[in-house]
């Protein structure tokens, strides 16, 4: 199967990046203010992916279980940082909660898929673990950021309603319940929409990659089904964990909501 | 013994890293069957005091007692079920009047209680002069005065012992405010008491007035005030 992969030469690679030059020129001429971002993102994409390619080559060749786990751990830390930076609300202890939810969801689902469905040999095979866990985590990371942003925005919007509920004897989880639901729903929307559109509107990245690499379309479809189901499973776990681990931080120990006026970080 | 009393309460808030005292080592008691007014210039800490009584604000010192039992012996939610704060904003949940009135029974803290029948709810509405509104009315179609009374009924429906009212009549016209005062007064019995923040002229329902200023709470009974019930 590897023979059928069309290897892109370095000349073609640089030629392809010339396409980005057009976008950059347009932005520069029209003074769209995006030139810098276009250049930075292009260079980052180029450098990071090539570096990852070389790193994976090395990892596939000299893989040991601890080296693979080390790489996975580094990926969780990076994902935690990116997800936390995307959240606009300031929440104490956010990165710990995000780390736990990303770690649990991507490791649990990733290992179930790699060991139970793909049957990797050996069990720590980097060729399966790294891309699959990475794919799960990339998705979960975006979903968690969306869900947490929604959660805290929604709770602030419902502050007076929650005040009344707590005054009537509601516990924090009862007062926050509608916001928790809204946040989980918001986090789930993209992956569920992708699942509905898959195969009709879009061919997901992984299936496209396999088709380009010459795989049997039905085999590629089966792989993609597994991937989509595991992505939505991992997203659900990650969102639910992140939301439940963080909502209580906006309540006092006595169970009332810390609205904007009485937050310690907002004098 | 008083139904509700607070001992040696000190309250403060942080402003730019500095603690500002709102109430300093004050004690007060509320007797069953009576309504009390709490007055004072705005920003003096009346709402904060009410929140503290409902365990919805940290206090620096002091203890609250219900029927002689200290608040530290209660779960906060169980305390708030007995000492119920009604905020100025009615903040009803979306839905019908019925949805709002049965809301307290959907909470764990009232799990053992049977939720009221429509007949009982209709009786409540009648007591508040809201019979013409009906249980099926959507709350978005209530007037301000009606919404305030529905919020009061919701708080009172589970029979808390202490009602803390934070200017529930502030946005109402005089007639509606009087209706709210009458309703609160009708709630009072041998097992209930009420402390309400008001900015209006006395409506004659209060049997005493607490005045808060500069961290000091002073009390005048209605008889001394010359007000007639």
Chain A residue with Cα closest to B89: A160
pTM: 0.84
Q: What is the ipTM of this complex?
A: 0.90
Q: Quick one: pLDDT at residue A264?
A: 65
- Considering only CA atoms, which of B50, B53, B58, B45 is closest in space to residue B7? B53
Residues of chain B found within 8 Å of residue A171, distances taken between Cβ atoms: 77, 107-109
Averaged pLDDT for residues A220-249: 91
Is the confidence at residue A240, as pLDDT, over 80?
A: yes
Contact A129, A76 (CB under 8 A): no
Is the confidence at residue A1, as pLDDT, over 60?
A: no
Q: Quick one: pLDDT at residue A2?
A: 47
- Considering only CA atoms, which of B195, B178, B160 is closest in space to residue B78? B160
Contacts of residue A133, defined as CB under 8 A and 6 or more positions apart, other chains included, come to A72, A75, A106, A107, A110, A114
Q: How far apart are CA B4 and CA B11, in angstroms?
A: 18
Whats the size of chain B, residue-wise?
Answer: 229
Confidence class of residue B227 from pLDDT cuts 50, 70 and 90? Answer: very low
Q: How far apart are CA A67 and CA A61, in angstroms?
A: 12
Q: Where are the alpha helices (DSSP H) in chain B?
A: 46-53, 76-82, 97-102, 118-127, 144-156, 174-187, 222-225
Q: Quick one: pLDDT at residue B223?
A: 66
Burial bucket for residue A104 (CB in 10 Å: 0-12, 13-18, 19+): middle
Is the confidence at residue A265, as pLDDT, over 90?
A: no
- Considering only CA atoms, which of B168, B174, B164 is closest in space to residue B150? B168
Burial pattern A48-57, b for ≥16 Cβ within 10 A else e, equals: eeeeeeeebe
CB contact under 8 A, A168 and B16: no
> pLDDT, tens digit, for every residue of A10-69?
888 888 878 888 888 888 888 888 888 888 888 888 899 999 999 999 999 988 999 999
Q: How far apart are CA A214 and CA A1, in angstroms?
A: 7
Confidence class of residue A251 from pLDDT cuts 50, 70 and 90? Answer: very high
> pLDDT, tens digit, for every residue of A53-106?
999 999 999 889 999 999 999 999 999 999 998 888 788 889 999 999 999 999
Q: How far apart are CA B198 and CA B78, in angstroms?
A: 27
Q: How far apart are CA B192 and CA B190, in angstroms?
A: 6
Residues of chain B found within 8 Å of residue A264, distances taken between Cβ atoms: 14
Q: How far apart are CA A22 and CA A42, in angstroms?
A: 12
Q: How far apart are CA B211 and CA B219, in angstroms?
A: 6
Q: Quick one: pLDDT at residue B154?
A: 92
Residues of chain B found within 8 Å of residue A177, distances taken between Cβ atoms: none
> pLDDT, tens digit, for every residue of B88-108?
887 888 899 999 999 999 999
Contact B110, B68 (CB under 8 A): no
Name the interface residues of A facing B (CB cutoff 8 Å).
160-161, 163-171, 174, 252, 254-256, 262, 264, 267
Residue B229 sits at the chain A interface (C-beta within 8 Å): no
Chain B residue with Cα closest to A159: B91
> pLDDT, tens digit, for every residue of B30-81?
999 999 999 999 888 899 999 999 999 989 999 999 999 999 999 999 999 9
Expressed in angstroms, the distance from the first to the final Cα of chain A is 63
Size of interface A-B (CB pairs under 8 A): 73
Report helix, strand or coil for B220: strand
**Residue ranges with strand state E in chain B:** 4-15, 18-30, 35-39, 61-66, 69-70, 83-86, 162-166, 193-197, 208-213, 216-221
- Considering only CA atoms, which of B57, B162, B85 is closest in space to residue A254? B57
Contacts of residue A266, defined as CB under 8 A and 6 or more positions apart, other chains included, come to A260
Q: What percent of chain A has pLDDT over 70?
A: 96
Confidence class of residue B226 from pLDDT cuts 50, 70 and 90? Answer: very low
When mean pLDDT is compared across A123-137, B8-22, B51-65, B152-166, the lowest value belongs to: B8-22
- Considering only CA atoms, which of B70, B92, B183 is closest in space to residue B137? B92
Burial bucket for residue A81 (CB in 10 Å: 0-12, 13-18, 19+): middle
Averaged pLDDT for residues A218-240: 90
Is the confidence at residue B228, as pLDDT, over 50?
A: no
Report helix, strand or coil for B193: strand
Averaged pLDDT for residues B80-91: 89
Confidence class of residue A5 from pLDDT cuts 50, 70 and 90? Answer: low
Candidates A174, A255, A264; nearest CB to B76: A255
Bond preceding residue A122 cis, omega within 30 of 0 = yes
Is the confidence at residue A261, as pLDDT, over 80?
A: no
Mutation pick from A160, A165, A167 vs chain B, by most beta carbons of B within 10 Å, is A167
CB contact under 8 A, A160 and B91: yes
């Amino acid at each position: 199967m590897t023979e059928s992969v069309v290897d892109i030469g370095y000349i073609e690679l640089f030629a392809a990046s010339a396409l980005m030059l057009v976008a950059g020129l347009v932005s520069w001429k029209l003074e769209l203010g995006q030139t810098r971002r276009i250049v930075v993102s292009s260079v980052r994409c180029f450098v990071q992916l090539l570096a990852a390619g070389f790193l994976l080559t090395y990892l596939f060749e000299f893989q040991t279980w601890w080296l693979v786990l080390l790489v996975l751990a580094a990926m969780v830390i990076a994902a935690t940082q990116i997800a936390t930076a995307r959240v606009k609300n300031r929440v104490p202890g956010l990165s710990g909660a995000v780390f736990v939810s990303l770690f649990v969801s991507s490791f649990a689902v990733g290992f179930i898929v790699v060991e139970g469905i793909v049957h990797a040999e050996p069990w720590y095979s980097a060729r399966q673990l790294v891309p699959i866990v990475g794919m799960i985590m990339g998705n979960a990371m975006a979903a968690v950021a969306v869900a947490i942003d929604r959660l805290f925005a929604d709770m602030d919007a419902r502050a007076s309603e929650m005040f009344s509920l707590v005054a009537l004897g509601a516990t924090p989880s009862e007062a926050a319940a509608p916001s928790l639901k809204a946040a989980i729903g918001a986090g789930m929307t993209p992956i569920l929409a992708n699942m509905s559109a898959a195969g009709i509107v879009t061919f997901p990245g992984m299936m496209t990659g396999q088709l380009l690499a010459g795989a049997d379309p039905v085999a590629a479809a089966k792989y993609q089904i597994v991937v989509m189901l595991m992505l939505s499973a991992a997203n659900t776990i990650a969102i639910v964990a992140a939301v439940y681990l963080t909502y209580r931080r906006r309540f006092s120990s006595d169970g009332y909501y810390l609205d904007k006026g009485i937050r310690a970080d907002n004098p | 013994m008083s139904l509700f009393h607070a001992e040696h309460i000190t309250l403060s808030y942080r402003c730019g890293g500095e603690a500002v005292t709102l109430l300093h080592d004050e004690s007060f008691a509320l007797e069953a069957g009576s309504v009390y007014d709490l007055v004072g210039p705005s920003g003096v800490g009346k709402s904060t005091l009410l929140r503290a009584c409902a365990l919805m604000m940290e206090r620096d010192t002091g203890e609250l007692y219900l029927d002689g039992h200290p608040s530290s012996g209660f779960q906060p939610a169980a305390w708030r079920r007995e000492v119920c704060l009604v905020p100025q904003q009615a903040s009803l949940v979306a839905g019908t009047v019925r949805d709002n009135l049965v809301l307290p029974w959907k909470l764990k803290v009232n799990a053992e209680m049977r939720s009221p029948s429509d007949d009982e709810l209709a009786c409540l509405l009648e007591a508040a002069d809201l019979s013409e509104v009906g249980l099926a009315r959507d709350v978005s179609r209530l007037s301000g005065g009606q919404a305030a009374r529905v919020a009061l009924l919701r708080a009172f429906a589970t029979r808390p012992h202490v009602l803390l009212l934070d200017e529930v009549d502030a946005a109402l016209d005089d007639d509606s405010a009087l209706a709210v005062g009458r309703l609160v007064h009708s709630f009072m019995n041998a097992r209930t008491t009420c402390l309400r923040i008001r900015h209006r002229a006395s409506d004659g329902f209060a049997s005493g007035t607490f005045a808060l200023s500069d961290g000091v709470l002073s009390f005048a009974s209605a008889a001394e005030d010359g007000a007639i019930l």
